[in-house]
Structure 1
């Protein structure tokens, strides 16, 4: 049986997921759940889709893969179709970070202990949300594409997240503490591009000034490695 092809950002998400029961929220084509099942990374999947078109597409893909006994497709908004404690982990990919934060806030007790998130814009709101809601940032990837795509794994844990220790907080929230420590060329390109973009926009009290300071702090970390 052919393997579902994933693009690089979904492939990165795949490798951050391993649990008994997983939910993919806003799955669209269901390629990620199909691969998760076929590679034995999860025992069972629940696919949640709000819109009729993607819902029907996911149902067709699951049926074509003959995995209806392992992947259940449900109609609904965010985590609403799930029961509290039903899944061990969940993924959301290809959405804006603000949209994801809204979905997570509404999820309440339906939120599982592990989350894998791939936003299509700045992941800073997700890192801030995690620190405020008892999740630690345990892994990060940065994937080249139309722009650099971040992929985050969050795990519920008590206490202060050790990932941010000894790093300038605003830089770590913007660019990612694990990514800053790894110091990839892709991240350095992103930071340098941000500095070049922000310098002409920055002025005291403006958002661009705070973003520029975070970018410069990030570059200092990267140059110190």
Structure 2
């Protein structure tokens, strides 16, 4: 059977996973875990899906791929179906950053030391969560699509996250410290669009003004191009 195709954002998630045991939370079709096993990026996967339709689809796809010895599909919400320490890595993709943050907060002792997260909106909430909960930002990607999709790899570490050193804090939280240093065209286009959108809305003390300051700081880091 051919390996299932993934869209660009899930290909980016795939590239940031390297684990002995990995959980894909809200997996939908289980294509990501199938690829992880097929490409040797994980030795074992647990698929977690809450909704009946995607749950059945995931089970069918795992059966068709003949990977039931390597991939287990479980029904449940977030990390609840997992045992503490059962996996060393997990991915959560295709949801809003607020929803993903809620899943992480409810995980408790089930939360593994490595996470790959792909929100469908700004990743600022996830970067804040990571800094407040002992996780360092080890890698980031920004994938073009209907809008730019951020993909983050977090790892549990002690002390301040060195990724943020020597960068304007609000710009780094909004746009990503690794992304700012890499300075891709995708990020530059996003920052310019934010500046154009926020400039007529900004006023002292208003949220738009704070966001505009972050965007202008990001543009300065990117060389003011």
Q: TM-score, normalised by structure 2?
A: 0.99
1:50 Cα deviation from its structure 2 partner: 0.5
Q: Counterpart in 1 of 2:152? A: 152
Instruction: Tell me, yes or no, if structure 1 residue 212 matches structure 2 residue 212.
Output: yes
Q: Output one character per residue of 1:153-210: Cα deviation in whole Å (capped at 9) or x when no partner.
A: 0000000000000000000000000000000011000000000000001011110000
Q: Counterpart in 1 of 2:189? A: 189
Q: 1: distance between equivalents of 2:88 and 2:218?
A: 34
Q: Output one character per residue of 1:22-64: Cα deviation in whole Å (capped at 9) or x when no partner.
A: 0000000000000000000000000000110110010011011
Instruction: Tell me, yes or no, if structure 1 residue 31 matches structure 2 residue 41.
Output: no
Runs (5+) with no aligned partner, structure 2 = none
Q: TM-score, normalised by structure 1?
A: 0.99
Q: 1: distance between equivalents of 2:52 and 2:12?
A: 27
Q: Counterpart in 2 of 1:17? A: 17
Runs of 4+ with >6 A deviation: none
Q: Output one character per residue of 1:121-157: Cα deviation in whole Å (capped at 9) or x when no partner.
A: 0000000000000000000000010000000000000
Q: Counterpart in 2 of 1:102? A: 102
Q: Counterpart in 2 of 1:61? A: 61
Tell me the number of residue pairs that the alignment of Structure 1 and Structure 2 aligns.
225
Q: 1: distance between equivalents of 2:46 and 2:116?
A: 15
- For residues 57-206 of structure 1, what are the structure 2 equivalents within 5 Å? 57-206=57-206
> What RMSD in Å do the two structures reach over aligned CA positions?
0.8
